[in-house]
Structure 1
């Protein structure tokens, strides 16, 4: 039985940081950020090292120091946040719910396993050459769209993503599926968005204009200046592709008006100058946004960022992040996607029980019509979860997601960013540990630092130019 005179301290419910003399608290359960006044800071610092604290201890410590009402209010504020509580704190084991509904909003169609490039770091296990590529046929794709409409019946808007291999190598299917999905969504009274990521080598003016007509969201895989890009992104014959990709990207950007076009950068061992890559792709090529994906799980380990080099990449990301903040204060968006996403999470106060929408809001269809957890798993040994003919294997997928929701045996249960990270990418964990549910322990501390940096950046922008957050961060999805 709990002692009514005793308060328990939940050290895993909060994380406080000092930002330029300002103390703020990240409320871990809600991802809310709160300013700490002087009195609340003193109370928090007093109870922080304790497992329990009594009212007598609090009274003795703060007797004669300031207004009793202010002290009492500070204690009540910490109680309302769960930092102080009437019963012993427990690790966050997850919501403990059964997953039986799968309200899809996004379907990824792997239209061709073939690719005309041979990028040295590619993770795709089913990737092959164009001549051996296995293409998704229209009948399976059509059934995939019907599955999306059925499972996403309550959604007003659905998303169809075309992936590969190189998706532009199967433009015939992309056009047919787009026409079918548009017609079916008109019949169902829904909106539909289309997107794809391409290496751009097969882009033509005709294709670009067709994408424009159908308002595709387009990302181009490009790794930076020529020396960097050509090091990893090569043709099957071993020739660098920078010149053709840069030419095609500039062509697209000169005539594409439907939506902003972004660049996706894969960072590998050997080069970590994030700012130089960003400036080239944003300022020289003209992309609206540039996003970075560090490689830490490639089967060819020489490409993986580890140790000091991975640390250097995160430090370089923060350097670019400071440029982002300085520009934001002036009202300019320099298009650093990673920073934009972090600020969006903090601005919206997102609380994630799962690391992403894979399995709940998103599934990927491979060339056989099998339903994969996401596009990264097509061709892998991870079991699939049904197919477009028979539908979702809901019992198996539900069990997978319930395992992901269970934090009881993982460090996530007490981690301060557990509701922002939720264990990290399933595929990243699968590639590193052969277990999609294992947290990404190899860079957990770096992710915690990145969130701290994001809090600092968010508060500076909020103080100096809050209109930037309203204009760019709140409307992030509509800008891309």
Structure 2
């Protein structure tokens, strides 16, 4: 054989309880290394290039030639090994010819009755000054979604704000129009909504239940922590009202599990205490955390030290999650759900999310944005619901987002999970939606390694957990578990 070399950025080894696990970076697939694969991999890690003679000299006494050859072929097929003289292959860029939407986000009102200190929305205003979307814009948005989703059986409409419940007449009109209209085309439409819960009433909850809305509540934990940032426009804490409405919501709502999203800011970082209050005291199905690092008021953003401490606390909660999963229990920690789903299904991302591809957001004037976070920002728009998507302009953005080689992403071991990170986070912090979220990079690599350890431990103790708890949670079909348990031989 000609001399071969290890393509280090395509493989990452993590040892877990005596199991040598190799993550195939381009596909996030996990392989358990047997003895020969472990010896071959370790040898190539030590040497810049290895030919047949050196391979026989180092490993010929431990393994027979056929076994070594089979192992090399497996590594070559995965592009973990490559001819030492072969040039580096550029990352393939998938051409974007159409935008196959599955989701449209309607920004139904720029007004909000809360004045959260960390809010990223650049167009946010008070309820009295809120600019509401009209039905014709919403109707045209849904028709655009149906047109772009011609090959899909299901579509999703997300109502966003401001506080979306402040424009309930529009939400009711959209649902009344969308359900029969989708049915005419043989499609099912799902509805999603994120709310601060201040305007919830029993009548609204029952209506949402009847239409099977996917509901998420924004709430930051126990009273002292929640009220620190989530105040009314008049400056009063909102916890008492929100908690009362949440208890009412959870006692009546049966259509789908209700989750809560927490924003962690400086001084609001008690991950364990917040989770336990929201999950165990109030009864949310699951709790997800989002650290604030690029909000408009820097004093509320987490600095590097606080961010690192938050990730350590998330790992502590993650260990509790693993212990429960091994017993067949689910403690409802959204971040761990997503991490394990990425690992179990072998996530392979060319771009960080569906923004601009599977999803677009619409403002009150009908202009199309990459996602709801960009509505009201100074970033470009990509057409209008009246005229359609500016496909060439949007395609240029998506194609550009696929290659972040100049930023260092090409050799990152979590590039297929992260793909550079959130466009809006990069834009808000660095002014460039393509820039990687540098402040997260090392922490995210460590978080993924933690996820690999968690995955292996749960698979060893209770593999059914993935089938019973994770697969029902995701809308897309789960990849076969066998794909992540292969042994390289």
TM over 0.5: yes
Contact conserved, 2:356 with 2:398, CA < 8 A, in 1?
yes
1:302-331 deviation digits (Å, cap 9, x = unpaired): 111121110000000000001111110111
Q: Following the alignment from structure 2 to structure 1, what is the Cα–Cα distance between the partners of residues 130 and 458?
A: 48
Look up the SS of the partner of 1:324 in the other structure. Answer: helix
Provide TM-score, normalisation by structure 1: 0.97
From 415, 427, 432, give the equivalent of 1:418. Answer: 415
Question: How far apart, in 2, do the equivalents of 1:17 and 1:290 lie?
Answer: 28
Aligned to 1:459: 456
Tell me what 1:144 maps to: 141
The Cα of 1:87 is off from its aligned counterpart by 5.5
Spell out the pairing of 1:33-72 with structure 2 (5 A cutoff).
Answer: 33-72=30-69
1:76 aligned residue (52, 56, 73):
73
**Bigger shift: 219-228 or 69-78?**
69-78
Q: Which residue of 2 aligns with 1:407?
A: 404
Q: Taking structure 1 as reference, are residues 94 and 306 closer, same or farther at Cα in structure 2, changes over 3 Å only?
A: farther
Residues 222 and 274, structure 2, Cα contact 8 Å, conserved in 1? yes
Question: 1 CA distance for matches of 2:87 and 2:114?
Answer: 51
Query: Which residue does the alignment assign to 1:106?
Result: 103
Deviations 1:164-185 (A, max 9, x none): 0000000000000011110111
Alignment of 1:321-360 (within 5 A): 321-360=318-357
Distance 2:426 2:147 in 1: 31
What secondary structure sits across from 2:406 in the alignment?
coil
Q: What are the residue-to-residue correspondences of 1:80-479 with 2, within 5 Å?
A: 80-86=77-83, 88=85, 93-477=90-474
Which residue of the partner structure matches residue 480 of structure 2? Answer: none
Change (3 A) 1:251 1:299: same
Tell me how far apart the structure 2 counterparts of residues 373 and 160 of structure 1 sit (CA, whole Å). 15
Measured in 1, the distance between the counterparts of 2:12 and 2:87 equals: 16
Aligned to 2:482: none
Q: What is the rounded CA distance, in whole Å, between the counterparts of 1:325 and 1:101 in structure 2?
A: 41
Aligned residue-pair number = 476
Give the Å deviation of 1:88: 4.7
Shift of 1:6: 1.3
Q: Secondary structure at the match of 1:26?
A: strand
C-alpha separation in 1, matches of 2:172 and 2:161: 15
Secondary structure at the residue paired with 1:384?
coil
Contact 1:195 1:216 in 2 (8 A): yes
User: Highest relative contact order (Cα 8 Å, sep 6+), 1 or 2?
Assistant: 2
The 1:93/1:196 distance shift into structure 2, 3 A limit, reads farther
Q: How big is each residue's C-alpha offset from its partner over 1:97-127, in whole Å with a ceiling of 9 and x where there is no partner?
A: 3212100000000000000000000000000
Any idea what the Cα deviations from partners look like across 1:223-281, whole Å, max 9, x if unmatched? Answer: 00011000000001111000000000000000000000000000011132211100100
Kindly indicate whether the alpha-carbon contact (under 8 Å) linking 1:266 and 1:295 is maintained by their aligned counterparts in 2: yes
Structure 1 unaligned residues grouped into runs of 5+? none
Give, in angstroms, the shift of residue 71 of structure 1.
2.8
Note the alpha carbon deviations across 1:60-100, whole angstroms, 9 max, x for none.
11132243333333323222222112355666753223212
Measured in 2, the distance between the counterparts of 1:89 and 1:421 equals 27
Contact 1:344 1:476 in 2 (8 A): no
Residue 196 of structure 1 and its aligned partner are, at CA, apart by 0.5
C-alpha deviation, 1:478, in angstroms: 5.8
Partners of 1:216 and 1:258 within 8 A in 2? yes
- Alignment CA distance shift 1:375-1:22 (3 Å): same
Secondary structure at 1:17's aligned position in 2? strand
| Superposition CA RMSD, Å | 1.4
Q: Is the 8 A contact 1:94 1:353 kept in 2?
A: no
Alpha carbons of 1:26 and 1:314: their partners in 2 closer, same or farther (altered >3 Å)? same
* Distance in structure 2 (CA, Å) of the matches to 1:47 and 1:130: 63
Taking a change above 3 Å as real, the CA distance of residues 127 and 35 of structure 1, as seen in their structure-2 partners, is same
Q: In the alignment, what sits opposite 2:16?
A: 19
Asked whether the equivalents of residues 196 and 218 of structure 1 are also in contact (C-alpha less than 8 Å), the reply is yes
Q: Secondary structure, in 3 states, of the residue corresponding to 1:263?
A: strand
C-alpha separation in 1, matches of 2:103 and 2:204: 23
| Partner SS for 1:177 | helix
2:481 maps to none
User: Runs of at least 4 residues of structure 1 off by over 4 A?
Assistant: 87-93
Cα offset, 1:408, TM superposition: 2.7
